[in-house]
Amino acid sequence: GVMTKTQVDLLEGYEGKCVLTKKQMEGIIEDFLARMEEGLEREEQQLKMLPSFVEKMPCGKEEGEFLAIDLGGTNSRVVRLALKGGQVREMVAHEDPIPKELMVGTTKELFDFIARQVKTFLGKHNTLAQSGQGKGGKIPIGFCFSYPMKQTGLANGEIVNWNKGFDIKDTFGKDLVELLEGSLSEYKIQGKVFAMVNDTVGTLAAHKFIDQDTQLGVILGTGSNAAYIEGKRRITKLQGGETKREEDKMIVNIEWGNFKSSRLPYLEEDREVDERTPNKGKQHFEKMISGMYLGEMVRLACLRASAEGNLFGGSQKDKLQQAWTFPTSLVSRIDGLGPEKLDQVKKELSAALDIPRAEITHGCARFVSRLCQLVGDRSAALAATGVTAIYRYLMQSKQVSPNQRFVVAVDGGLFEHYPRYPERMQQTFISLLGKEQAKRVELVHSPDGSGIGTAVIAAATAR
Ligand code: ADP
Ligand code: MG
């Protein structure tokens, strides 16, 4: 039940790459900061640094009843909520998985799917329609759209590109708010979209509503991305548009998923994961971090170990050979079991890969267990490196003072479910910032942040 020589060698290779040294992470930060500056200056840079047109920062006094529609990478959610007295009240949410075929279908099919979902939701929880809030008794809506969009105001925007497995050709050049309102009205839902925000922006806003020291919104779910509060004069590419003279700040959606650097610990498996996506060559950073890709990464490494190092007896590769069959939740469970409970790891693998238990040796289980741990560690270390880069940026530009709390609101299934993910990130903060400073970085899970924040922003606008 020991690992084969090749398996040991393969693991050493992964270890050498996935365990990041402080020096490597500092190099990544240096590149990240350079890309941020470029993105603030010019359009169409590697980091898109997208202006969100959210200029009035949430203060906790926002009020009203809203419907938040949150289109994610895996799920679509409808949330009805009321904001009052600095609290989120009466929250009712309904989530549906987005059918796979709609991710590569037509724009109209996707928006009609959302409209049907809203229709069903309102059939069950319809109090908003009677509340008569918003213009002409229409239901006030906040739309959370977790893809990059080019906006010239809070309630408009066109898609820049799809990612996370979505590949819909006829969305480009169309206003997303018009598309949503159009589909809603076809389904006889009288709604008005007051704000359309990216999920990172929503997460930041939702937490700022309850904690003024929130500096960052981060998504660690199907995809990965972050948003922060920027001084408007520093967004030098920002000219025209519907900006408010009286405000001097704006939330910027970094679109950090597309970050790329020769200093990133890039494996052969990363290249292979990339090959299997519709957005080949894009979203480098995201593909090393987020939930959509970690399982596929582990599958490819197992496939290699099977072919080269006799993993799973080198046979029974049928299930393992199918792309996207190794879910990140499995990586998560195996990692969570740790290096001791190898019998349970065997059980997980046997069930997931249709391999008889007897054919999974102790050595195999140990290999996969360590592999999952490495992939999880690398994800958390890179996410934390990204957060540290923005922390440094905000300190250096004196936009956050050194004695202020640095609260980071995080939403997404990976952060929520992956074992010890926050602790792993914290380890990286300690390594990069030292124990004392690292304490100032507070990672907070902001459940439903995307949807709530969209409502908070819509509330500030609707007033
Ligand atoms: P989105 O908003 O993009 O739809 P979510 O925030 O709902 O995404 O997160 C869903 C993602 O979270 C899944 O795609 C998966 O990658 C990840 N995920 C779900 N369950 C787990 C788990 N148990 N462990 C780790 N990651 C998970
Ligand atoms: Mg989401």
Per-residue pLDDT tens over the stretch 95-117: 999 999 999 999 999 999 999 99
Is the model's pLDDT at 442 over the cut of 90?
Answer: yes
Q: Give mean pLDDT, residues 243-260.
A: 93
Q: Which of 51-60, 214-223, 304-313 has the weakest average pLDDT?
A: 304-313
Q: Go through the chain and tell me how many residues it has.
A: 463
| Distance, first Cα to last Cα, the chain | 67
Does the pLDDT value for residue 169 go beyond 70?
yes
Cα–Cα distance, 436 to 453 (Å, whole number): 31
Q: Contact 286/225 with Cβ under 8 angstroms?
A: yes
Whether residue 315 is predicted with pLDDT greater than 70 in this model: the reply is no
CA 108/CA 183 separation, integer angstroms = 8
Residue 310: what pLDDT? Answer: 87
CA of 134 to the centre of ligand 1 (A): 33
Q: Which of 201, 273, 414, 415 to mutate to test the pocket of ligand 1 (most atoms within 8 A of CB)?
A: 414
The yes-or-no verdict on residue 44 having pLDDT over 80 is yes
What's the confidence (pLDDT) of residue 247? 86
**Distance (Å) from CA 413 to ligand 1 centroid:** 3
Note every long-range contact of 81-89, with CB atoms under 8 Å and residues 24 or more positions apart, other chains counting: 81/451, 81/452, 81/455, 83/209, 83/455, 83/456, 83/459, 86/60, 86/61, 86/209, 86/210, 87/210, 88/209, 88/452
Identify the pLDDT of residue 135: 47
Lowest-pLDDT range, 133-142, 194-203, 219-228?
Answer: 133-142
Please say whether the beta carbons of 148 and 50 come within 8 A. yes
pLDDT, residue 136, reads: 61
Q: Do residues 176 and 137 make contact, with C-beta atoms less than 8 angstroms apart?
A: no
Please give the pLDDT value at position 258.
Answer: 98
% of the chain residues with pLDDT over 90: 86
Contact 328, 291 (CB under 8 A): yes
- Considering every ligand atom shown, identify the ligand nearest to the alpha carbon of residue 203 and give its number: 2
pLDDT of residue 132 exceeding 60, the answer is no
Mean pLDDT on 391-401: 97
List the structure tokens of 101. 């075929």
Cα of 203 to ligand 2 centre, how many Å?
Answer: 9
Distance, CA 282 to ligand 2 centroid (Å)? 20
Cα of 159 vs centre of ligand 1, distance in Å, is 23
Whose C-alpha lies nearest to ligand 1, atom 9?
413
Q: Report the atom number in ligand 1 closest to the C-alpha of 76.
A: 4
- pLDDT value of residue 134: 47
Sorted by where each begins, the domain ranges of the chain are 52-210+447-462
Rounded average pLDDT over 389-414:
96
Atom of ligand 1 nearest to the CA of 223: 3
Task: Supply the residue whose CA is at minimum distance from atom 2 of ligand 1.
Answer: 72
pLDDT in tens, 420-436: 999 999 999 999 999 99
pLDDT at 186 over 70: yes
Which tokens is 45 given? 């840079």
Mean of the pLDDT values across residues 166-185?
A: 97
Candidate from 6-10, 205-209, 239-243, 347-351 with smallest mean pLDDT: 239-243
Confidence of residue 127 (pLDDT cuts 50, 70, 90): low
Q: Residue 245 — very low, low, confident or very high, per pLDDT cuts 50/70/90? A: confident
Give me the pLDDT at residue 18, please.
93
> How large a percentage of the chain has pLDDT more than 70?
96
Closest ligand 1 atom to Cα of 219: 6
ipTM for the whole predicted complex goes beyond 0.95 = yes
In ligand 1, the atom with minimum distance to the C-alpha of 292 is 16
Select from 78, 415, 416, 424 the residue to mutate for testing ligand 1; criterion: most ligand atoms less than 8 Å from CB: 416
For the annotated catalytic residues, the residue numbers are 77, 146, 199
The DSSP code for 149 is E
Q: Which of 49-63, 129-143, 212-226, 243-257 has the lowest mean pLDDT?
A: 129-143
| Pick among 3.30.499.10, 3.40.50.300, 2.60.40.640, 3.30.420.40: CATH of 52-210+447-462 | 3.30.420.40
**For residue 1, what pLDDT is reported?**
73
Lowest mean pLDDT among 39-53, 64-78, 79-93, 313-327: 313-327
SS3 193: strand
Q: What is the mean pLDDT of residues 10-25?
A: 96
Q: What residue owns the CA closest to ligand 1's atom 23?
A: 329
Residues 307-336 have a mean pLDDT of 89
| Closest CA to ligand 1's atom 26 | 414
Q: How far is CA 159 from the centre of its chain?
A: 17
Ligand 1 cavity residues, CB under 6 Å: 72-75, 146, 221-223, 291-292, 328-329, 332, 412-414, 417-418
pLDDT at 312 over 90: no
Among 222, 299, 410, the mutation site with the greatest number of ligand 1 atoms within 8 A of its Cβ is 222
